[in-house]
A and B are shown apart, each in its own frame.
Chain A
Amino acid sequence: MSTTTESSTSSDLNNESTDSFRFSDYFGPAVVFGFFIGIWYLLANVVLPEQKRFLLPSPHRVLTEGFFVWHSGTRRGLYPILMSLWDSAKIALVGLLLTIIIGMSLAIFMSSRRWFERATWPYLVAIQSAPILALTPLIRALIDGSTKQRLLVVVLIAIFPIVSNTLFGLLSADKSQHELFTLHNTSRWTRLTKLQIPSALPNIFVGLRISAGLAVIGAVVGDFYFREGGVVGIGAQIDVYRARLWGPELITAIILASLLGLVVFLLFGWIAKKFIGKWHITTRGN
């Protein structure tokens, strides 16, 4: 192959990474959003029997009574919702950080010691499927302070994907590349840092993205069960609105909590692109 054709293949590949505006990329989401709002109206005004309609106020009522009221009474309006959302976000992020540190250390250790992998794997699967609700009395009895309790719930709920994806990535480094390192008598540490971790990065970021979403869920769930000194997190706030039948505030809080999950998801997608976008290409059939 001549040098000119070789360089042209490389510029072809460069082009595909540049972003270009595509109408269909925005049209699809807009249609689905319209559909979603339509179904909401239908549920709120037609499907639900009249005496149950307080459960789901119409979208415009959520906007006017939930989003557009800044502060009213002690906890009505957007401001208290945002404050508790911020509190939950902090728990979710600190918890996620802990999850990443613990989860990746576990995965690294599991990848280098087979007995440890075999010994710990069943418990990780068990943690993933254990109902946290059933563990709440135990957690409360063992750990003091609602912050620590909530962080523990976040770690328990979010840890599995980061461990399993990291482990899978670490163990799927290319065989010939391993042999290249063997040829040069490389230490286990060098092999880990120069071969296994870099080649696991795409998998690690997939795990991170899932774990990040779960961390938000974990924070909201943790709020439900572990609170002291009145309402703090968004989960507790939602619980209060639910108990008092404050429909618009309830829906507003739920939407904002979901948006937090979405923001975290997008954030980690963006970080992954920054880190590995240059060399890792995801492919979609057509």
Chain B
Amino acid sequence: MEPQFVTTQQSSESTPALLFNNVSKTFPDGTRALEDISFSIEPGEFVTVVGPSGCGKSTLLRIASHLEECSSGSYVIDESSIGYVFQDATLMPWRTVQRNVELIAELHKIDKVTRSRLVQEAISLVGLSGFEDKYPRQLSGGMKMRASLARSLVLKPKVFLFDEPFGALDEITRERLNDELLRLFQLEGFAGLFITHSISEAVYMSTRVMVMSARPGRITHTFDIPFAFPRTHDLRYEPEFARICGEISHALRGEIK
């Protein structure tokens, strides 16, 4: 089957922000990374993928963002409005926080005045005001990640793809950034596709959690997370929260064997 690829330029409320139809991916060396992946994400939904390492979670994001092509199936995404947050902050060490956050707007040739306004907004949204002139080496891991978030926020993307962005952070910083990201999610109303190893992070952040199997990656379970927004830190200690975590953990275990 020939890979198909559809782009929508304007998306209204009714169309999903991201739609996968039977997407499969086989690498040239024969490794089957993804098999028959189908799902859709509406604006205002935050969907998290959990799965054993090497199950193709990252490949899923890379296909959604056109960094890689799928072998078969089709998908729809508003290409002009993707925000991508990498595993590490990928800041440029020679640029200050201000200039790093500016980068994407700069690549899209947005004029200087608009640019500096957008950058100021994004920097204050992630709580980095006052650190504009610092270089990345002067920042802690958490602050680097905030700067990286601000950089993708500048163009106000409708779809946000997160490739295990907080995986390398300590737990305290990580939970703090979870709250920050949830606040941004409510504020901006983007559609989020988030990848993580941590089940509690997945449940805390998401409106829906998808469990992927080991290679070839398939979506085996989908859990709707019923908790209302805004969510607070105490949610992590609710019995219902623990119950859902347990179910997801069970589903994952079934996959690992």
Q: Which residues of A contact B (CB under 8 A)?
A: 1, 5-6, 9-10, 13-14, 174, 176-177, 179-184, 186, 190, 194-195, 198-199, 201, 276, 278-281
Question: Count the B residues whose beta carbon is within 8 Å of the partner chain — how many?
Answer: 32
* A182–B68 alpha-carbon span in the complex (Å): 11
| Contact (Cβ within 8 A) B137 A281 | yes
Query: Any chain A CB within 8 A of the CB of B92?
Result: yes
Partner of B90, one of A10, A176, A194: A176
Total residue contacts A-B, CB cutoff 8 A: 68
Take A6-B139, A190-B107 as given contacts and tell me if A183 and B65 are in contact as well, using a CB distance cutoff of 8 Å. yes
| Contact (Cβ within 8 A) A198 B143 | no
| Contact (Cβ within 8 A) A1 B137 | no
| Contact (Cβ within 8 A) A1 B173 | yes
* A174–B143 alpha-carbon span in the complex (Å): 20
Partner of B140, one of A6, A186, A276, A279: A6
Q: How far is the CB of A191 from chain B (nearest CB, A)?
A: 10
12 CB contacts below 8 A, A to B, read A176-B88, A176-B90, A179-B67, A180-B103, A180-B104, A184-B108, A186-B107, A195-B92, A199-B93, A199-B94, A279-B137, A280-B94
Q: How far is the CB of B158 from chain A (nearest CB, A)?
A: 15
Take A176-B86, A176-B87, A182-B67 as given contacts and tell me if A199 and B92 are in contact as well, using a CB distance cutoff of 8 Å. yes
| Contact (Cβ within 8 A) B107 A198 | no
Chain B interface secondary structure, helix, strand, loop or mixed?
A: loop
* A1–B131 alpha-carbon span in the complex (Å): 16
Query: Any chain A CB within 8 A of the CB of B84?
Result: yes
| Contact (Cβ within 8 A) B138 A10 | yes
The 4 closest A-B pairs by CB, nearest first: A10-B138, A176-B90, A184-B107, A279-B135
Chain B residues in 8 Å Cβ range of A179: 67, 86
Q: Which residues of B contact A (CB under 8 A)?
A: 65-67, 82, 84, 86-88, 90, 92-95, 103-104, 106-108, 131, 134-140, 142-143, 170, 172-173, 176
| Contact (Cβ within 8 A) A10 B139 | yes
Partner of A183, one of B67, B135, B136, B137: B67
Chain A residues in 8 Å Cβ range of B138: 9-10, 13-14
Q: How far is the CB of A102 from chain B (nearest CB, A)?
A: 25
| Contact (Cβ within 8 A) B93 A280 | yes
| Contact (Cβ within 8 A) A10 B134 | yes
Take A6-B143, A281-B137 as given contacts and tell me if A177 and B92 are in contact as well, using a CB distance cutoff of 8 Å. yes
Take A10-B134, A281-B137 as given contacts and tell me if A180 and B173 are in contact as well, using a CB distance cutoff of 8 Å. no
Chain A residues in 8 Å Cβ range of B172: 1
Chain B residues in 8 Å Cβ range of A183: 65-67, 82, 84
Chain B residues in 8 Å Cβ range of A199: 92-94
